Amino acid sequence: MEREVGAESRLESVTVYASGALCRRRVVVETGGEPVTRVRVGALPLAADASSLRARALIAGPRVTDVRRELRAEPVPPERLASLHRDVDAAEEAYDAARARRDRLALRVDATASLRAVPPTPRRGDPPRPAPVEAFLALAEFVDTRLAALHPQLLAAEDAVAGAEHALDLARHRLAEASHALPAGTARTTADAVVSLLGVQAGTTALELELEYVVPGATWFPSYQLRLDGSAGGDGGLALRASVAQLTGEDWTGVRLSLSTADLLRRTSLPELRSIRLGRRQDEAAPGPLWREPPTGTAELFGGYDDAARRRTPDVGSEAAGAPLRRVEGPRAAGPRPAAPYGGPPVPVSLGAAPRSPAVAPRRAGGPPMPSAPAAPGGPPPGGPVPLPQAQAAAFGASVPPPLPPTPPVPVPDPALQDYAGLVLAGADAPPAGRGRLAPESVQPCAAHAVGEPALPPHAVPVRQASGSFAYRFDAAAPVDVPADGSRHSVPVDDFPIGLTPVHLCVPALDPSVYAAVEVTNTSPHALLPGPVEILVDGEYTATVPMPALAPGQSRRIGIGVEEGVRVARHVRTSESTSTGLRGGTTVVAQTVEIEVANRLGRPVTLELFERVPVSDDKDVRIEDLPADPPWTVVAPEEDEQLRRGLRRWRVVVPPGDGPTLTAGHQLRLPAGKAVVGGNRRDA
């Protein structure tokens, strides 16, 4: 005996992929101790993919044999209507009432202001009448008094209309930003999941099922928050926050959220490899038909329906009915049908048009016209070159076999037609071509929602580009709420342990400003994706900068901004001397650099200063470094991302107050007959 029960479900977890999401619901079924064969689970979003429905029993014994989606319409009680819709309706009524009252007051003001004293028209021969001054004054006083009372009311009505219009705009704006999961009318279309069970024994009071499905219209990208302690210098933390946007038709309230960089749907079918054969070319055997042709005569089943519909159609006018019939003649035949070549298929003749006459060869002088030989199917046109195989065959008196006609492709049905349980038999109201045939059930266009591609904030990277060649998943540490409004919502995911090494950088030859940076080492077992990172120093927002991808154990440098508490001053002295010798003179250009550093932060800082010495490919030009105090180091090519030659670096710890003075330089030796481009005396 079959028994179906309804059950409520709760959205428990959601995994958001690069595009789309996988939702899991927990279903608790109260059986009442009787066997159950089907369970109907409601409140599924219309955007859910019917082919992605999966269900499994969480207790031992029952087994799920089938699960499919069914659409149905249900009325929405007035108390379940969205409060935002009621607010909009109330705001519209208030606005209409305020505008109507304003219009009535405006009409009364216009009517009162239009009051005028109209004296009677004098008759011929009547003596002049005295002017009714008292009546005029009384009317003017009445109009002034009345307008003085109406104008404040009209101003108050104008203010009421402006306030009602503002309230209406605010209610409409809130409704536009609200979730699409709220009911919008008195009836709605809902989707149910019908789960077929087997093995539910009598006496089982409750069942637990897990239902999962795929929904489109969800996306995310990572963002970070880097907290730095300005006093300690090396303490802080990194928090991952995901920007999630979803328009799936249901709100995610209190769900366990997971974020994945993988693709939710990907083509995984293996390609069919063609066999390589030696010998004569043959047509490949087509696979067997996966379907069969529909039965003939289905159109005759609806003959009575069509006759009844024609009888209800009004008759045509007598003028049109009595019009004489004209004789329609087809095109005349231009000649006999040409015969097909020996061993070849018959020559087709197009219907509705005369066949073309055979080509006529030019007339020879003094002789009858010679007809041209008919061309074999697939052969060259008359008068053209003959292929070598055909020429050899014609020379031995053999006929050339015509090529085989191409094999028609095997019809392959649509994958939607293979879901037999989801097919619907079209009735008499369907178009004539689809009557009596099975077709997939059409889904309403409003059932699927898709999130558009909103503009990404600066430094944000799409997940597909950020993940690169690997796929990774992040699990939120606590349940989160994400409404289905299509807007981006910042969701906290987790905090990651990282190593922070603050450092300050400066290139005095280009810019005397000192830039603060931090060396971030990923000490967590998770891979960190690129994205925007907010820098907070002592709890205050400093800047938003891009963060590169970090594998576990990898270190990268992140810039923070200009550090005003550290100052650098650079001084350059250049000297030139010339010496003579037996082989010619030599010009020596010596340049000395002196850098002064001052620290006003109140704590020691690590400062890296970069200088660059000239580099020459001429063997007659020698460049030597002068002694540096403190010593500097040559930047290795693998550390220089831009492959700049001649780069030198100081790395010093600057205490609070006036720091050390750094000195260095280089010496350029070149023959006296040569000169440096731009002059010998340069300030680098």
Give residue 368's pLDDT: 42
Where are the alpha helices (H) located in 268-408, listed in sequence order? 303-311, 318-321, 388-395
204-246 pLDDT, tens digit per residue, is: 778 899 999 999 889 999 999 998 886 655 677 899 999 999 9
Give residue 256's pLDDT: 95
Q: Angle at Cα 376 formed by Cα 375 and Cα 378, nearest 5°?
A: 110
Distance (Å, whole) CA 416 – CA 40 = 24
Distance (Å, whole) CA 668 – CA 575 = 10
0.75 exceeded by the pTM? no
Type of residue numbered 288: G
| Neighbouring C-beta atoms of residue 343, cutoff 10 Å | 10
Give residue 331's pLDDT: 40
What is residue 52's DSSP assignment? Answer: G
112, containing H or E segment: helix 83-113
Distance (Å, whole) CA 606 – CA 566 = 11
159, containing H or E segment: helix 133-177
Distance (Å, whole) CA 496 – CA 547 = 14
What is residue 371's DSSP assignment? Answer: B
Residue segments in the chain with a per-residue pLDDT below the cut of 50: 315-389, 391-398, 444-449, 679-682, 684
Q: Angle at Cα 303 formed by Cα 302 and Cα 308, nearest 5°?
A: 100
Q: Write phi, then psi, for 587 (nearest 5 degrees).
A: -100, 130
Q: How far is CA 503 from the centre of its chain?
A: 39
Q: Write phi, then psi, for 670 (nearest 5 degrees).
A: -145, 155
- Biggest CA pair distance of the chain: 143
86, containing H or E segment: helix 83-113
DSSP string, 193-262: EEEEEE---TT--EEEEEEEEEESSEEEEEEEEEEE-TTTSS-EEEEEEEEEEE-SSS-EEEEEEEEE-S
Q: Write phi, then psi, for 550 (nearest 5 degrees).
A: -130, 120
464-515 pLDDT, tens digit per residue, is: 887 776 788 999 999 999 998 888 999 999 998 888 888 899 999 999 999 9
